[in-house]
Amino acid sequence: MRSVQEQSVLSVEHIIIDDGSDDSTRDLIQSFRRQSLSHPLMYRYQDNRGESAAVNAGLSLARGRYSLILNSDDCLRAGALAVLADSLRNGNYIAAYPDFEVVNSTGEPIKTIRKPKYSFTALLGDAECLPGPGTLFLTDALKTRDIRDLRYRYVSDYHMWLKMALRGDFVHVNANLAQWRSHDQSTSIREPKLALAKELLLLFEQFLDDYEDEPRVRSLKQRAISSAYFRAALMTRTTDNFESRRFMLKSVKTRYRNGLRSIWGPHRVRSTASTLLVPAGVLSRYSRGK
């Protein structure tokens, strides 16, 4: 909350959705509101319905031209909103995403995530969720009541970016403008990796089916499915060895189904249980964990 109030832009509406907290969150927010605030703060409490419902509730109240979703593990660096808003105003873009820093539970830096330049092929075809913490987007980019799809518990943000990308381009801002806090209670750390992997695969299956009439989606279908299986293999390779190898085989079979025999070679990914043969190009990506 403090990182939002310290932003230097002239007009910010700060909306907080409390998704059924049963701790001291409400008291903390009320105490914060009694301080001298730079930007007006709106607080809404709702029964616990999950992150997607909370985001939808917040965006339904948003009146500004631009919106930014700041989850409880995230914060903004000084001047972030001004830089991101300038990036959107100075180009024909629908969203601007920055690099960000991963910090530990006490706020000490762990590493900086440098995001690549935007392309729709990378976002869909390579199953790479390019936007992350600190992404600013046009509030009216998606003309729907619920921007986040309640079917997804873990990947609703990715689904939102994919839908948004069909309406306009994103721009990467080459600056560290946000922070994501990694700790034992983080959803990405706490939840089973296999559940995340399966939901990612479901997302791609449903998105490719829902938008099969879009030429760009149709042209990337085979590549996207293969990449989704590849990402699922990476997610699970240290926790679900059998599923990881199964996902990797599906990735290879999908990507190279028209010429698998010609490129298959004696390249191996070693695991605790067995050895898996994969094409050389896939091996290098798997070994690097990318």
On whether both 262 and 159 belong to a single domain, the answer is no
Q: Which tens digits make up the pLDDT trace of 175-189?
A: 999 999 986 655 554
Name which of 6-20, 215-229, 248-262 the model is least confident about: 248-262
Please say which residue of 190, 209, 229 terminates a domain: 190
On whether both 90 and 174 belong to a single domain, the answer is yes
Q: How far apart are CA 281 and CA 28, in angstroms?
A: 51
On whether both 272 and 173 belong to a single domain, the answer is no
Residue range of the domain that includes 278: 193-288
Question: Average pLDDT for residues 33-57, to the nearest whole number?
Answer: 93
Could you give the residue ranges of the DSSP H alpha helices within the chain? 2-5, 25-33, 51-61, 80-89, 120, 156-165, 187-190, 193-210, 215-219, 221-236, 241-255, 260-263, 280-288
Residue 59 confidence (pLDDT): 93
Q: Which tens digits make up the pLDDT trace of 253-270?
A: 888 765 444 333 334 444
On whether both 133 and 223 belong to a single domain, the answer is no
On whether both 131 and 213 belong to a single domain, the answer is no
Residue 262 confidence (pLDDT): 38
On whether both 185 and 100 belong to a single domain, the answer is yes
With H, G, I as helix, E, B as strand and everything else as coil, classify residue 274: coil
Question: Average pLDDT for residues 132-155, to the nearest whole number?
Answer: 89
Element (H or E) spanning 16, and its range?
A: strand 14-19
What is the count of structural domains for the chain? 2
CATH number, domain containing residue 47 = 3.90.550.10
Backbone angles phi, psi at 98, to 5 degrees: -105, 175
On whether both 228 and 144 belong to a single domain, the answer is no
Residue 94 confidence (pLDDT): 95
On whether both 102 and 228 belong to a single domain, the answer is no
On whether both 58 and 201 belong to a single domain, the answer is no
Residue 96 confidence (pLDDT): 98
Please say which residue of 190, 212, 229 terminates a domain: 190
On whether both 212 and 165 belong to a single domain, the answer is no
Both tokens of 56, joined, read: 């939808």
Please say which residue of 158, 190, 222 terminates a domain: 190
